[in-house]
Amino acid sequence: MGIVVQKYGGSSLSDADAIKRVARRITEQKRAGNDVVVAVSAMGDSTDELLDLAEAVSPLPPARELDMLLTAGERISMALVAMAISDLGYTARSFTGSQAGVITDSVHGKAKIIDVTPGRIQSAIDDGHIVIVAGFQGVSQDTKEITTLGRGGTDTTAVALAAALNADVCEIYTDVDGVFTADPRIVPQAAKLDQVTYEEMLELAASGAKILHLRCVEYARRYNIPIHVRSSFSQLDGTLVTGSINDEGEEQMEAAIISGVAHDRSEAKITVVGVPDKIGEAARIFETLAEVAINIDMIVQNVSATDTGLTDISFTLTQSDGQVAMEALDRLKDEVGYEKLIFDHSIGKVSLVGAGMRSNPGVTAKFFKCLADAGVNIEMISTSEIRISVVCSEEQVDVAVAAAHTAFDLDSSEVEAVVYGGTGR
């Protein structure tokens, strides 16, 4: 008998029937003799609906109040799931993030978990209850305010609870059967991965695969918590995220060079045109962006053509940071003496991820060739040891993903992927 931590996402909790179905699934684990702790997301698209509502009331709501509003979504879920469980003859106790001991820093909207003190959860377990925790939220250690962990944060809540409770496994229930070699909504022949290492999953998550929150994977790797990503709509085994490419990973490296193709449409590109090619200009530009807390993803700069002495610097960032970044750079115009700024939000990023590319030459050439054959123009390139990413126009993302998936023999002979729920919003 051990502790199992489960997480149910919004698409598994879309309405009353879905909540009852999830409650049955939770009690199955309890009946099997395990203690169960569950982190829940807000029902369906209700977080987006709350955001729309906030925007309708106030264009720039105070961050503290936005967190107060958004955490209500998960509180609705936790109470309803606990009610459904008690109808099945089991007792459940629901807790807000703060009651559950999820302690964070004080950054509203993207707080980081700094500690979990699961005293109340542990005593509820000891009293025989099933524990339901509102995901995506905590309480700040300094300010004592309620915080949220950023979109998709319930995954991180679940893994943090699993680590604090020494759970055997963290099961993340979602609306697809596991981690696929590409988004099945774009590539119907995407295949399910039985197992993937933390490192590969980190790269996939950072490259836009929405299946798991990046910080949840970082957390799981740090505390060595196996994550089982699976569907709440089927009984199939999903994908086990565990292990490092340095140990068990060796075998997988022989099996498949590439584990998946991820894509991301959430970034934008800014080009600073006509920057004087002098020492210190790039530093000044990126210092300015750092001061306004902008995270940069890819950067491209060419050496200037000798006759002009000018160069262009392009970089990508989260689209929603675009305005702040443009305003900050605008203030720098006279100081740096660049010509103009160009903002392009219609870009997409396509990434190839696989531990095997470290030891297999030619992956980059094959990737670029297949994109060229598909008529995809590459605007930017970046690489890590186990990833190659390109930026292309947003309309070409689907074509690029499909081309790479086929070129690296990832297409499955049958259609394995079923998207059970969710609006993909």
**Which parts of this chain interact with Mg ion (CB under 5 A)?**
10, 41
Q: Residue 316 Cβ, how far from ligand ASP at the closest point, in Å?
A: 22
Q: With CB under 6 A as the contact rule, which of the stretches 39-47, 112-120, 243-251, 288-296 interacts with ligand ASP?
A: 39-47
Q: Residue 145 Cβ, how far from ligand ASP at the closest point, in Å?
A: 18
Q: Which partner, Mg ion, ligand ASP, none, binds residue 135 by CB below 5 to 8 Å per kind?
A: ligand ASP
Q: In the range 305-344, which residues lie near ligand ASP by CB under 6 A?
A: none
Q: Residue 134 Cβ, how far from ligand ASP at the closest point, in Å?
A: 10
Q: In the range 142-181, which residues lie near ligand ASP by CB under 6 A?
A: 151-154
Q: State the virtual CA torsion across 238, 219, 2, 77 in degrees, nearest 10.
A: -70
Report phi then psi at 123, rounded to 5.
-70, -30
Chain centroid to Cα 269, Å, comes to 20
Q: Is 421 in the site for ligand ASP (CB under 6 A)?
A: no
Q: Residue 77 Cβ, how far from ligand ASP at the closest point, in Å?
A: 9
Q: Residue 184 Cβ, how far from ligand ASP at the closest point, in Å?
A: 20
Q: Which partner, ligand ASP, Mg ion, none, binds residue 98 by CB below 5 to 8 Å per kind?
A: none
Torsion region of 308: left, alpha or beta (phi above 0 gives left; psi -120 to 50 gives alpha): alpha
Reported residue count of the chain is: 425
Concatenate the DSSP letters of all residues of 125-154 into one string: HHTT-EEEEESSEEEETTT--EEE--TTTH
Q: Is 73 in the site for ligand ASP (CB under 6 A)?
A: yes
For ligand ASP, the closer CB: 20 or 151: 151
Q: Is 47 in the site for ligand ASP (CB under 6 A)?
A: yes
Size of the site for ligand ASP (CB under 6 A): 12
Q: Residue 327 Cβ, how far from Mg ion at the closest point, in Å?
A: 30
Task: Compute the distance between CA of residue 113 and CA of residue 219 in angstroms, rounded to an integer.
Answer: 10
Q: In the range 216-275, which residues lie near ligand ASP by CB under 6 A?
A: none
395 Cβ contact partners less than 8 Å away, ≥ 6 residues apart: 346
User: Token digits for 336?
Assistant: 């740096």
Interface residues with ligand ASP (CB under 6 A) are: 9-10, 41-42, 47, 73, 135-136, 151-154
